[in-house]
Amino acid sequence: MEYTLILSAVSSKAEAESIANALVEEKLAACVNILPGVTSIYKWENDMKADSELILLIKTKKSHSKRVEARIGDLHSYDTPEIIFLPVQGGSKEYLDWINASV
Protein backbone atom coordinates (compact mmCIF):
# COMPACT_ATOMS: atom_id res chain seq x y z
CA MET A 1 0.00 0.00 0.00
CA GLU A 2 1.31 3.46 -0.89
CA TYR A 3 0.45 6.58 1.11
CA THR A 4 0.52 10.30 0.37
CA LEU A 5 0.74 13.49 2.42
CA ILE A 6 -1.13 16.29 0.67
CA LEU A 7 -0.45 19.94 1.48
CA SER A 8 -2.95 22.71 0.90
CA ALA A 9 -3.06 26.32 2.12
CA VAL A 10 -6.37 28.00 3.02
CA SER A 11 -7.37 31.50 4.03
CA SER A 12 -9.42 30.88 7.18
CA LYS A 13 -10.03 28.50 10.05
CA ALA A 14 -13.61 27.98 8.89
CA GLU A 15 -12.44 26.96 5.42
CA ALA A 16 -9.77 24.67 6.89
CA GLU A 17 -12.30 22.92 9.11
CA SER A 18 -14.84 22.64 6.30
CA ILE A 19 -12.35 20.95 3.97
CA ALA A 20 -10.90 18.76 6.73
CA ASN A 21 -14.31 17.59 7.91
CA ALA A 22 -15.45 16.78 4.38
CA LEU A 23 -12.32 14.78 3.57
CA VAL A 24 -12.47 12.74 6.79
CA GLU A 25 -16.25 12.23 6.74
CA GLU A 26 -16.11 11.10 3.10
CA LYS A 27 -13.23 8.71 3.92
CA LEU A 28 -10.89 10.45 1.51
CA ALA A 29 -8.43 11.19 4.33
CA ALA A 30 -7.66 9.44 7.59
CA CYS A 31 -6.57 12.66 9.29
CA VAL A 32 -6.13 16.33 8.48
CA ASN A 33 -3.88 18.50 10.63
CA ILE A 34 -4.60 22.23 10.54
CA LEU A 35 -1.51 24.36 11.12
CA PRO A 36 -2.36 28.02 11.87
CA GLY A 37 -0.19 31.09 11.78
CA VAL A 38 1.53 30.70 8.41
CA THR A 39 2.58 33.75 6.42
CA SER A 40 2.76 33.09 2.70
CA ILE A 41 4.77 35.44 0.50
CA TYR A 42 4.25 35.02 -3.22
CA LYS A 43 3.68 36.81 -6.50
CA TRP A 44 0.19 36.71 -7.99
CA GLU A 45 -0.67 38.49 -11.24
CA ASN A 46 2.65 40.40 -11.02
CA ASP A 47 1.90 41.76 -7.53
CA MET A 48 3.82 40.78 -4.41
CA LYS A 49 1.50 39.35 -1.77
CA ALA A 50 1.86 38.48 1.92
CA ASP A 51 -1.13 36.67 3.40
CA SER A 52 -1.94 34.87 6.62
CA GLU A 53 -2.95 31.31 5.87
CA LEU A 54 -3.39 27.92 7.46
CA ILE A 55 -1.79 24.74 6.12
CA LEU A 56 -3.64 21.46 5.83
CA LEU A 57 -1.62 18.26 6.19
CA ILE A 58 -3.82 15.57 4.68
CA LYS A 59 -2.96 11.90 5.22
CA THR A 60 -4.36 9.44 2.72
CA LYS A 61 -3.66 6.56 0.36
CA LYS A 62 -1.98 7.39 -2.93
CA SER A 63 -4.94 5.86 -4.75
CA HIS A 64 -7.21 8.56 -3.24
CA SER A 65 -5.01 11.52 -4.27
CA LYS A 66 -6.93 12.62 -7.36
CA ARG A 67 -10.28 12.39 -5.55
CA VAL A 68 -8.86 14.48 -2.68
CA GLU A 69 -7.58 17.00 -5.22
CA ALA A 70 -11.00 17.23 -6.86
CA ARG A 71 -12.79 17.59 -3.51
CA ILE A 72 -10.43 20.35 -2.37
CA GLY A 73 -11.11 22.10 -5.68
CA ASP A 74 -14.85 21.87 -5.03
CA LEU A 75 -14.59 23.36 -1.53
CA HIS A 76 -11.68 25.81 -1.78
CA SER A 77 -12.17 29.57 -2.07
CA TYR A 78 -9.03 30.17 -4.18
CA ASP A 79 -9.08 30.11 -7.99
CA THR A 80 -5.79 28.19 -7.93
CA PRO A 81 -5.49 26.35 -4.61
CA GLU A 82 -2.19 24.88 -3.51
CA ILE A 83 -2.45 21.09 -3.72
CA ILE A 84 0.88 19.28 -3.45
CA PHE A 85 1.33 15.51 -3.19
CA LEU A 86 4.27 14.23 -1.14
CA PRO A 87 4.91 10.48 -1.19
CA VAL A 88 5.21 8.82 2.20
CA GLN A 89 8.46 6.84 2.15
CA GLY A 90 7.74 4.99 5.36
CA GLY A 91 6.26 5.23 8.82
CA SER A 92 5.12 3.14 11.72
CA LYS A 93 3.25 0.06 10.53
CA GLU A 94 0.49 0.70 13.05
CA TYR A 95 -0.10 4.25 11.83
CA LEU A 96 -0.04 3.29 8.16
CA ASP A 97 -2.42 0.40 8.90
CA TRP A 98 -4.73 2.91 10.61
CA ILE A 99 -4.69 5.16 7.53
CA ASN A 100 -5.48 2.16 5.36
CA ALA A 101 -8.40 1.14 7.58
CA SER A 102 -9.73 4.71 7.78
CA VAL A 103 -10.03 5.52 4.08
pLDDT of residue 66 exceeding 80, the answer is: yes
Region 79-98: mean pLDDT is 96
At residue 49, the pLDDT reads 95
One-letter amino acid of 90:
G
Distance CA 72, CA 69 (A): 5
Domain 3-102 sits in CATH 3.30.465.10: no
Give the pLDDT confidence of 24-34 residue by residue, as tens digits: 999 999 999 99
SS3 call for 58 = strand
pLDDT of residue 1 exceeding 90, the answer is: no
Give the pLDDT confidence of 10-65 residue by residue, as tens digits: 999 999 999 999 999 999 999 999 999 999 999 999 999 999 999 999 999 999 99
Question: Which DSSP string corresponds to 9-57?
Answer: EES-HHHHHHHHHHHHHTTS-SEEEEEEEEEEEEEETTEEEEEEEEEEE
